[in-house]
Structure 1
Amino acid sequence: MTVPDALLRLAHAHGVATSYTTDRGARVDVAPDTLVAVLAACGVDAATPAAAREALAAHEHRRATRLLPPSVVTRQPETPRLEGLGLPHGTTGHVELEHGAGTAALLDPLPVGLHTLHVRTADRGDSCPLLVTPERLRTPEGRHWGFVVQLYSVLSRRSWGMGDLGDLADLAEWSAREAGAGFVQLGPLHAAEPGPLTDPSPYRPSSRRFPDPLHLRVEAVPEYAYLDGAARHMADACAARARALNDEVLRGGSLIDREAVRALKLSALRHVHQAVPLTPGRAASFAAYLEREGRELTDFATWCALAEVHGGTWQTWPAGLRDPRSAAVARARSELADAVAFHQWLAWLTDEQLAGAQHRAVAAGMPIGLVHDLAVGVSPHGADAWAYQRFLAAGMSVGAPPDDFNPRGQDWGQPPWRPDALAAAAYRPLAGLLRAGLRHAGALRVDHVMGLFRLWWVPQGRPPGEGTYVRYDADALLGVLMLEAHRAGATVIGEDLGTVEAGVRGRLAERGVLGTSVQRFEYIGGSEGRHGPLPPEQWRTDCLATLTTHDLPTTAAWLSGEHVALRARLGLLTRPEAEEKAEAAAERDGWLAELARLGLLPAGDGEADPDAALLALHALLLRTPARMLGVWLPDTTGDLRPQNLPGTSTVHPNWRLPVADATGRPVALEELPEHPLVRRVIQLFPRSGSSPSSRSSPSSRSSPSSPSSRGSRVH
């Protein structure tokens, strides 16, 4: 396969990989038509050799006439030096501080921020973003543990059919006060796509910029209490139907039905919005929120209003409505003013309740509080793809190349950022969504953090294996992340599982970004050349360590082999069932042997107590030096069902299951404090903030029948 020289050079100039190395170390050359398609998504025409030569010449001309690179990144207390930028002799310059805070000379100490660098020679000038970042992010003092949850799955008897922000506040307060937890880690709370979905994944949202009002606790909205007359009757009817729906889920009679919950909540909240005016103080608070969120909120609320009329796929709307800056959209916004105002109000209420949940968590003694999750991308049909379309690569999807775990590769159906457009916008779109995710958080988990360095782009309509990597300005993207986290006083956790380019983990660790370590992947020699479980003392210190994730089997399922049996029942096995069962058993037995070596699982305990191995694995986490320890909430109830079985949206109820016990009976939030297995698990963990050297053996703690001072009902 011969690639024209101009196409190769053009691809390299735009950060498009012309070859890549597989997880097994093999080199793969990227097909020319893939390069042409990816360059086209970056606004570069390379469809013919002549077009490629012309585009290359234009690129080289622009590069030759520019004085500055696309961006400059420096760390405090350093200041940028003109001589380090290769500028002509006699160049002068100054820094325009962000938010109109004035100007500074290049030799002046600069505050952290996203500034603009201006330079001039005798005949021309230039400017570019100048990011001044902290040297390193803060990491938590001592050791902290906390529950890892998908909020929808944690229902209380007060819920409206799925877990909400009131339930989150209760879970955080109980786990902090009674169990000494330091955080609650959440799945993404991003605004979801509207309408019924075959796979309602929180990792494929409509918007990462705003949370979903689906999570609201309706009765906690202050204006709700002042409903009367017909509006009160209608809202109470919604509440009654929602409670019946909730009871059905908790009885185990139905799955979580987001669309039914959404319809009931929005109906009740529309009555509140229409019937109860804001008090002067509340009106002032709402006005301040509108001013703070500005055009981004207006765009989001406008998209929501338009989607109610034209459907949730903006590409099918009338042509004039597909551009958020068009005159047609401005007219529609005016015509739909009430609907736009309603969605702005919902966003404000959700922001308030998120703030309240974080406040209750911290007030209860959590040193970190809420850990929010930033999905790697968004739906191509949703609000962000509409509002930010000029910054996204049309016709491309983010995914992963073929590897041992996914021989065909992966296509996640999410448009990637265009590196050039993001730089031209001084990275403000990225900064805005990071700021939003950090606003009410003590930490932020960044899904697929390797995407700050490069992403696998798949041309639309092609299999994932016919994609290629596109490189980003990692210094700039990491700098924006550090800047926003520094301002929020928050920790950053990078999800760095899977294929990770050499050097990436080291660069992240150097800047204070924690990694993610999952027991199922911690082996001597790594996941490719496994030579037995990695001893706990050899795990990373700067990481969040867990036993499992939302995409993996629960620990009880992994220990029992139920995860293989489930895939067999669904017809998903790629090898004979006996072979897969034997492999799974060998993997499990290797870890059980490691637990025995460490003295965490005395001989015979696994037969005498079926929960002994589960408890020993949690005790194993305490033997690691990890700064943060995550406890998957369904593990503490013995749940055998995965919240998500990747690639099975039509045969498994992904993202619809309430937390349950080993029999599949849902466990309400109010039951958690007195649940025997929950009590045994949480008693293993010392209060957050303790030394990482703290140890606990499952055999040395109280049995399920022992009295516990930590047991308490959630109110």
Structure 2
Amino acid sequence: MTDDVDHPSDALLRLAELHGITTDFWDYHGRRQTPSASTLRHVLGALGVDAGSPALVDLALRNAEDTPWRQVLPPFVVTRQGRSVHVPVHVTDGDPVRAWVEIDPDAGGGRRDLEQADAFVEPRTVDGRRVGRATFALPDDLPLGYHEVVVEGPSAQGHSPAVVTPARLTLTPALGDSERVWGLMAQLYSVRSRDSWGVGDLVDLADIAWLTGRECGADFLLINPLHAAEPTTPMTPSPYLPTTRRFVNPLFVRPEAVREAAYLSSADRALVEWAAEPARALNTDTGPIDRDVAWTAKKAALEVVFAAPRTGARQRAFEAYCAEEGTGLDTFALWSALAERYAGQDWPDEAWDLSSPLVAAARTELADRVEFFRWLQWVADEQLAAAQAAARTGGMALGIMHDLAVGVHPGGADAWALRDVLAPEASVGAPPDMYNQQGQDWSQPPWHPQELARAGYRPWRDMLRTILRHAGAIRIDHVIGLFRLWWIPRGQSPALGAYVKYDHEAIVGILALEAHRAGTVVIGEDLGTVEPWVRDYLSERGVLGTSILWFEYDDQGGPLAPEKWRRLVLATVTTHDLPPTAGYLADEHVAIRERLGLLTEPVDQVRAQAAEERERMLGLLRGRGLLGEDPSEREVVEALHRYIQASPAALLGVSLADAVGERRAQNQPGTDQEYPNWKVPLADGSGRPVLVEDLVESSRLRSLARVMNGS
């Protein structure tokens, strides 16, 4: 990526490394690459560091080296339970200082004095002052929790969060004595019932979970991210480009399931029914799901229900929810009201400043709408709780498995409210590879590593806490993003990006702590280019990986025997970025790319490669006695699932689309408007819609469930 003209200087490389920018990496050809000087300058600029000239580089380098010495305490301290860690404290050289730790009230509270360690470090002159470093030892017997280190002395007054995280998550609480469990994977919006409003919702989620738990023996239900989209139309269809990852898309709320809906006057009940008619008419429509029609109808109905009186207990419950979610909910609700006000037009510059007079005035002017959007989150939270309760009542060991997207929309609520801990002058993407030779730009602003640490990782913690409250498990999309992300400076090609590293010990540690407190299993999507040490690290922390049948290869490039797969994984035959198995066996993945002009090789060659892959897999199935000579499509699908059962994987996932014979993909990577991504309703192999009510009567689903139950 560099040439002699744009080769970075040693000073620029050092500056980049001090700010967490990876200065060499391996590309998809297996070649070692160094980002160009211009790329490093742009990425440093996105981090707020001016490296526009050699003099500025030298200045920034001195500042980066001096900054830790200017801080009395590091902005954040993290350790694992059972480990001691040293905490540096900077004071005027020779001054005394004492330190203690305030214990997390949720971990028992109290105070522990810290002992100074014998760890001499040469003093340093910073800003004309001789600064010394005292090192204190955080004891190894602190309980799990969010503690605070406090220091006091003539030249040192300060405090800093100190988080003790679980050394390792364990599956035992969730799985008990089971060697493994299996579950279903569904795109919730695609699975509708007769009572849906054109889109699968949280009541449908509860019904699917209870039915498949009780009738099929499934132990979890993995669903697409439920993160909030815009509160207006057109609504972004991709669940992986949300406006916020913390709160729920109210599109998934069932209006009639809100308690107050049962006590509406006949006139108001009629308004709700009238609103539902155009949306319910879509439940058996075979065309693309229309979120805009569904949300327009639901929003009108929910406004009627919101206006209905609540009992004193219900009002207190609403107020308690708002108090628990705090400023995060208030800010999201205010953004939603502003997004509604400025729908279809550019926001004034002043509206992007949370401290501006315009935003202050809006808090008062839009107070009723802010309250409405708070309320939407409360009723969504209630329906999520009911879905998880239904899953567990139905016999599921885990229940609902949520999905966490990589990032957020650049014009969304998180980009507005969390801009202090994001890097708006960059976006997340991927470097060039064999499928996308120009790289990929996902248009999502990344976390700013240093600012996130200065904020004590509270935005990350608060988001996890909200999502995990009603989750039995969580899947982390693109889990390598907790370690490093490909940053693309605004206006630059994805090929001109660089990897920026994160403090994975802190980020994964907080994830582990919140999951431990919630009793949640964590799965990381670790497909693609993931360094082996990352997989080892996640396994060490008890975070499961991901294995997809078609992506498991041995050293010779052939299918890896399932017995050699990893134990700590969620293993599946397919994924939402591939056609369902019936479609894959019919070469639908080739046909789609041919129709859309996405092939980079001659179609006959791609078809031949797909046929070879398919026949090789069928041969393996026959060799194991899992398949006869002239199998039906259903028999092949079941044999593939028996194949993954030969693996030691702790979790096995079955696509609901596979279970009903669906052939169409939910998402075609590399497309936007060319394919109805995230809009395909669940149907059988003939294209007939499959409703929630049809699932338990599906002979194909029941047969595949028997396979997964070992029959």
Give the TM-score normalised by the residue count of structure 1. 0.91
**Do residues 629 (structure 1) and 644 (structure 2) align?**
no
Conservation of the 8 A alpha-carbon contact between 2:337 and 2:366: yes
Moved more, 556-565 or 473-482: 556-565
- Aligned partner of residue 379 in structure 2, secondary structure: helix
Greater relative contact order (CA < 8 Å, ≥ 6 in sequence): 1
Question: Shift of the alpha carbon at 1:311?
Answer: 2.5
Counterpart check, 1:489 vs 2:519: yes
Q: 1:642 aligns with which of 649, 662, 665?
A: 665
The residue number in structure 2 matching 1:402 is 432
User: Cα distance 1:82–1:158, how it changes in 2: closer, same or farther (>3 A)?
Assistant: closer
- Could you report, residue by residue, the CA deviation over 1:581-604 in whole angstroms, capped at 9, with x for unpaired residues? 0001111111111111221112x1
Tell me, yes or no, if structure 1 residue 135 matches structure 2 residue 167: yes
List runs of 5+ in structure 1 lacking aligned partners.
Answer: 687-695, 702-715
SS in structure 1 of the partner of residue 707 of structure 2: coil
- Residues 288, 681 of structure 2: 8 Å contact kept: yes
Q: Give per-residue Cα distances to partners, 1:287-340, cap 9 Å, x unaligned.
A: 100100111000000001011111278xx3222221223332121011011101
* 1:154 pairs with 2:191: yes
Checking the alignment, whether the CA contact within 8 Å between 2:230 and 2:236 is kept in structure 1 is no
Aligned position for 2:543? 513
Pair 1:164-2:201 in alignment: yes
1:18 corresponding residue in structure 2: 23
Q: 1:126 to 1:84 in 2, by over 3 A?
A: closer
Equivalent residues of 2:73, 2:88 under 8 A apart: no
1:92 aligned onto 2:125 = no
SS in 1 for 2:674: coil
Could you say if the C-alpha distance between residues 88 and 548 of structure 1 is closer, same or farther in structure 2, counting changes exceeding 3 Å? Answer: farther
Moved more, 391-400 or 42-51: 42-51
Contact map agreement 1:605 1:612 (CA 8 A) in 2: no
- Kept in 1: contact 2:69–2:90 (CA 8 A): no
Deviations 1:359-411, CA, capped at 9 Å, x for gaps: 11111211100000110100010111101011100121111111223222111
State the secondary structure of the residue aligned to 1:605.
coil
User: TM-score normalized by structure 2?
Assistant: 0.91
CA contact (8 A) 1:255 1:657 kept: yes
SS at structure 2 position matched to 1:128: strand
Residue 267 in structure 1 maps to residue 300 in structure 2: yes
* 1:312-711 pair list within 5 angstroms: 316-525=346-555, 530-602=556-628, 604-606=629-631, 609-686=632-709, 696=710
AA partner of residue 185 (structure 1): L
- Which SS does the other structure have where 1:399 is aligned? strand
Q: Is the 2:197–2:280 Cα contact (8 Å) retained in structure 1?
A: yes
Find the aligned partners of 2:277 and 2:642 in 1 and give their Cα distance. 43
Describe the shift of the 1:88–1:660 C-alpha distance in structure 2 as closer, same or farther (beyond 3 A). farther
Equivalent-residue separation in structure 2 for 1:360 and 1:625 (angstroms): 29
Aligned-residue CA RMSD in angstroms?
Answer: 2.1
Query: Are the counterparts in 2 of residues 161 and 256 from structure 1 also a CA contact under 8 Å?
Result: yes
How many Å apart are 1:557 and its aligned residue? 1.2
How many Å separate the matches in 1 of 2:504 and 2:484? 8
The Cα shift of 1:454 comes to 0.7
The correspondence for 1:183, drawn from 198, 202, 220, is 220
Amino acid across the alignment from 2:592:
L
Deviation string for 1:494-513 (max 9, x for gaps)? 01111112300000000100
Specify the SS of the correspondent of 2:283: helix
For 2:53, which of 45, 48, 52 is the aligned residue? 48
CA distance in 1, matches of 2:360, 2:105: 27
Give the aligned residue type for 1:644: N
SS at match of 1:611: helix
Cα offset, 1:79, TM superposition: 3.9
The Cα offsets for residues 543-578 of structure 1, whole Å up to 9 and x where unpaired, read as 100111111121111111122122222232222211
Distance 2:69 2:91 in 1: 12
Could you tell me which residue of structure 1 aligns to residue 111 of structure 2?
103
Q: Residue 99 of structure 2 aligns to a residue in which SS?
A: strand
Match of 1:309 in 2: 341
Cα contact 1:138–1:490 (8 A) shared by 2: no
Secondary structure of the residue that 2:676 maps to in structure 1?
coil
In 2, are the aligned partners of 1:66 and 1:126 still within 8 Å (CA)?
no
- The residue type paired with residue 341 of structure 2 is V
1-structure distance, mates of 2:234, 2:497? 27
Matching residue within 251, 260, 269 for 1:214: 251
Tell me if the contact between 1:67 and 1:87 (Cα under 8 Å) persists in the aligned partners.
no
Establish whether residue 300 from structure 1 lines up as the match of residue 332 from structure 2: yes
Provide the C-alpha distance between the structure 2 equivalents of 1:108 and 1:12, rounded to a whole number of angstroms: 31
SS in 2 for 1:648: coil
Q: Identity of aligned pairs, percent? A: 50
For residues 277 and 288 of structure 1, the distance between their equivalents in structure 2, rounded to whole angstroms, comes to 17
Task: Tell me how far 1:87 sits from its aligned partner.
Answer: 13
> Mean Cα displacement is larger for which, 643-652 or 565-574?
565-574
Partner AA of 1:621 in structure 2: I
* Secondary structure of the corresponding residue to residue 647 of structure 1: coil
Q: In the alignment, which residue of structure 2 is the partner of 1:712?
A: none
Q: CA deviation at 1:98?
A: 4.0
Do the aligned residues in 2 keep the contact of 1:639 with 1:660 (CA within 8 Å)? Answer: yes
CA displacement 1:237-269 (0-9 Å, x = unmatched): 11222222224x2xx2x3210011000000011
Q: SS where residue 576 of structure 2 aligns?
A: coil
Instruction: Give the SS at the match of 1:255.
Output: coil
1:59-98 matched pairs, under 5 angstroms: 59-66=64-71, 68-81=73-86, 92-98=98-104
SS of residue paired to 2:708 = coil
Q: 1:590 to 1:22 in 2, by over 3 A?
A: same
Q: 1:596 to 1:256 in 2, by over 3 A?
A: same
Amino acid corresponding to residue 604 of structure 2 in structure 1: A
C-alpha deviation, 1:68, in angstroms: 4.2
Comparing 169-178 with 219-228, which one deviates more in the overlay? 219-228
Pairing 1:284–2:316 present: yes
Cross-structure match for 2:7: 2
User: 1:75 deviation in Å?
Assistant: 1.5
Deviates more, 1:632-641 or 1:667-676: 667-676
Q: Alignment partner of 2:396: what SS?
A: coil
Please identify, of 573-582 and 228-237, the stretch whose mean Cα deviation from structure 2 is larger.
Answer: 228-237
Q: Is the CA contact (8 Å cut-off) linking 1:553 and 1:642 kept in structure 2?
A: yes
Q: What is the aligned residue count?
A: 674
**Where in structure 2 are there 5+ consecutive unaligned residues?**
1-5, 115-138
Deviates more, 1:345-354 or 1:52-61: 52-61
Distance 1:37 1:260 in 2: 42
> 2-side partners of 1:576 and 1:671: how far apart?
41
